[in-house]
Each structure stands twice: as C-alpha cells, then as structure tokens.
Amino acid sequence: MRITDVELFPLKLPMKQHFTISNGRVGDASGGAPHVYVRITADNGAFGWGEARPSHRWSYETLETVSSTIKDYLRPLLLGMEATDLRSIHAAMNREIRAGLDSGQPIAKAAIDTALHDLIGNAFGMPLAQMWHGSPAAGIKLSYLISTASPEEAAAKAAYARENGYEGVDVKIGLDPQQDIAILEAVKAAAPDLFFRVDANQAYNLPQAVALAKQMERIGVDVFEQPLPANNLHGHAELRKKTTIPIALDESVWTPGDVMQAIRLEACDTIVVKLTKMGGLSGAKLCGEIAREAGFELLGGGLTESTLGLTASAHLFRYLGIKRPVDLNGPIFLADDPVEAGPVITEGDVELPQGAGIGCTISMDKIEKFRV
C-alpha cells in the first residue's frame, strides 16, 4: 500500500471568542485560527485525514512553516513509501527535518502521522482502538477552559461549567501573580467540586511559582501545569520540593526522550500528553506509555484543534487510560470546522465514533470555504 498523494489544505477556522494565554492571543473571533488539514492517499484508493494546529504564541511553528515543510520537504519524501511502515516514515521525516530541542517541526509531522493512522484504519476497516489492541472506543470527559483577566468573568465561566456537566476546569494564568490569585479564588468559589487544573504556560520564575503554589495550596488547586520555562527542569524539580501540589509538564516534554529526562530529574508528578506537539499519535502514544509505566499521572491536552484533531486525541487518551477531564477545548472556541460527521460532543462529554480509522467524515465544501 504505497503513498501516491499528500494534499495540503491551509485553513483559517472561525472562532466564537478570543483565546489568550500568558504569551498572547492564539486565536480571535475576527481573524480566526490557523489549522492545516492533510489528506494522504494510497495506491489502493484508501485515504486518511490529519490536522496540524500551529500557534506562534505557543511554539515556533506557524501556518506558513507547516505548509512549506509538508509541501516542499515531507511530501516529496513520502511519495512511494509504504503507508503502513510508520517506523520507516518517521525515521525518514526525522532525517529530512532534523531535531533541535524538539523532534523538528513536530506539529507538521503530527498531521502526517495522524493522516497515516486514519488511512491504515480505513484501508483495513479498523478503528484506532483495534489498531492498538485496546477496548472499543466509548467516550471521554472534557474540561472547561477559562482564559480571562477578570475574576468576575472567570467565576461566571466556572459556574457555567459546573451547571452544564463538566467535571473539571482548566484555568489559564500568567498575567500577574496577584490577579492570578483573585481569578483562582473566584473559580474555586464558583465550582468548588470540579477538578481544578491551572496552567501558567511558562509565565513565571521559581520564586514567583513557589509563592503562587503556596496560595494554590490554600485555595485547593489540584495540579499546577508548566509554571516555569520549558528548559528549566531543575527549577521544576526544586518547586516540587516546596509545594504539595502536583506539578505537570507540558511545553517541557515533546519527545519520549524528554519524558525520560523529566523522570530522571524528578521534575514533575504529571505529564501532559498532547498529540500535536509530540509529532502525532505515534509519538504521543509512546510518551504516554513511558510516563504511565513510570508511575506518573497523565493529563490530556490540545491546541484548540478542530473536531478531527479532538477525535484523534480522545481516542488516544482513552487508550492511555486518562481518567481526568481532558483539555480539548476546540468546541469552546471554534464556531465551525470541516468535520461533517464524527463524534457526538455535548458540553463536557464526547461520544467517540465507532467507524474505521479516526472516524471523521470531512466536508470538501467546508475545506474550500475556510481555505487560505
């Protein structure tokens, strides 16, 4: 089953509301959000879809770099390769686009890897769970993401989450330590019984993070995600000694080697598994399995992917046995996307499709509508 075509579809998907992290806005209601869809076709007519969700506020990859990487470097490499030989395909991609501190354009490679999983599943009539020898897909719980500088708005969003069946909230902080505390107190008061995940996206230095963690202990935060810069594993290890709150790493762990390094340095309690940053389903699955077998808790995360990326991620998180509500927040922020059939998403619940591959049907009319 040889690869005969790799098609690229750069998109701007409409958003319902702005989305801001500590480094700035990653999508807005006026300009939309950048996504790249990829369709890979084999010589037997089977095809599969994958998605990249670049954000220059979160990593160095952009809509333009993902597009040029796939079009000019990965597509010529992949044509003619055996579609089921994922190990050789990843080795070839990693030779073509070399690793730096991460695996080398992992967001672009994630779209390729995800599309190949979908292609293989479609070709053999197997859902992802069957490909991984796991139990049939059922459903997964979503957390509700809160990103605002207003404690009053944060409280209103937390109350909405609690009233609409969400079992967890994911609160973005990193604007100002005092303002952060006010936001966290407001959220806890409005939703005292929900799983409370707090994400700083590398916003703080060690003294600030220690002070914040002490306040979070008082408030009742359940996990503190990526408080320090990504390369400061020793700082995260030191922070763990000074707080009882579990520390989670996201931007620090892009590869299985990163997970091993975090384990060796005792830099965290929890690993955030994120399909897009880890080069697709192959890399994210391996990272999750290593962390799980080492006794670490796993959290699921995303980068505001559309329904396609959300579904692929949800299949993986269920396979890995992640119990906590996962941060796949596309439905909160995206107004529309090209998936016309797939999972059933009802507020904090996702019922996964039972079909082959990822299980999503893509509308070419919407691909053209959102194409840039």
* pLDDT for position 45: 97
The arithmetic mean of pLDDT across residues 220-226, rounded, is: 98
Return d(Cα 28, Cα 45) in angstroms, integer: 38
pLDDT bucket at 258, cuts 50 / 70 / 90: very high
Q: Are 366 and 336 in contact (CB under 8 A)?
A: yes
Q: What are the residue ranges of helices labelled H in 232-272?
A: 233-241, 256-264
* pLDDT for position 99: 80
* pLDDT for position 104: 86
**Other CB atoms within 10 Å distance of the CB of residue 230:** 19
Residue position matching structure tokens 């809160």: 146
Return d(Cα 252, Cα 70) in angstroms, integer: 25
Nearest to 103 by CA among 240, 286, 278, 294: 278
Return d(Cα 251, Cα 73) in angstroms, integer: 25
**Other CB atoms within 10 Å distance of the CB of residue 139:** 13
* pLDDT for position 135: 81
- What would the pLDDT profile of 201-219 be if each residue is shown by its tens digit? 999 999 999 999 999 999 9
Average pLDDT value over all residues in the chain: 94
Return d(Cα 359, Cα 131) in angstroms, integer: 13
- What would the pLDDT profile of 302-323 be if each residue is shown by its tens digit? 989 999 999 999 999 999 999 9
Six-digit token pair at 223?
A: 């996990």
Which residues, listed in sequence order, are joined to residue 131 by a DSSP beta bridge? none
Which burial class, exposed, middle or buried, applies to 45 when counting CB atoms under 10 A from its CB (0-12, 13-18, 19+)? Answer: exposed
pLDDT bucket at 100, cuts 50 / 70 / 90: confident
- What would the pLDDT profile of 84-96 be if each residue is shown by its tens digit? 999 999 999 999 9
* pLDDT for position 59: 81
Which burial class, exposed, middle or buried, applies to 323 when counting CB atoms under 10 A from its CB (0-12, 13-18, 19+)? Answer: middle
* pLDDT for position 367: 98
Query: CA separation (Å) from 19 to 14, 53, 113, 163, 370?
Result: 12, 14, 27, 22, 19
Q: In this model, does residue 175 exceed pLDDT 90?
A: no
Which burial class, exposed, middle or buried, applies to 192 when counting CB atoms under 10 A from its CB (0-12, 13-18, 19+)? Answer: exposed
The arithmetic mean of pLDDT across residues 229-252, rounded, is: 97
Return d(Cα 223, Cα 299) in angstroms, integer: 10
- What would the pLDDT profile of 58-89 be if each residue is shown by its tens digit? 788 999 999 999 999 999 999 999 999 999 99
Q: In this model, does residue 29 exceed pLDDT 70?
A: no
* pLDDT for position 73: 97
Percent of the chain with pLDDT over 70: 96
Nearest to 109 by CA among 277, 266, 246, 291: 277
Q: Are 212 and 182 in contact (CB under 8 A)?
A: no
* pLDDT for position 176: 84
Phi/psi zone of residue 75: left (φ > 0), alpha (ψ -120 to 50 degrees), beta?
alpha
Identify each DSSP E strand in the chain by its residue range. 3-13, 19-21, 24-27, 33-42, 47-52, 139-141, 144-146, 168-172, 195-199, 223-225, 247-249, 270-274, 297-301, 339-341, 344-346, 349-351, 361-362
Is residue 162 within a helix (H) or strand (E), and if so which, with residue range? helix 151-163
pLDDT bucket at 300, cuts 50 / 70 / 90: very high
Q: In this model, does residue 28 exceed pLDDT 70?
A: no
pLDDT bucket at 25, cuts 50 / 70 / 90: low
**Other CB atoms within 10 Å distance of the CB of residue 316:** 28
Which is more confident, 139 or 170? Answer: 170
pLDDT bucket at 371, cuts 50 / 70 / 90: very high
Q: In this model, does residue 275 exceed pLDDT 80?
A: yes
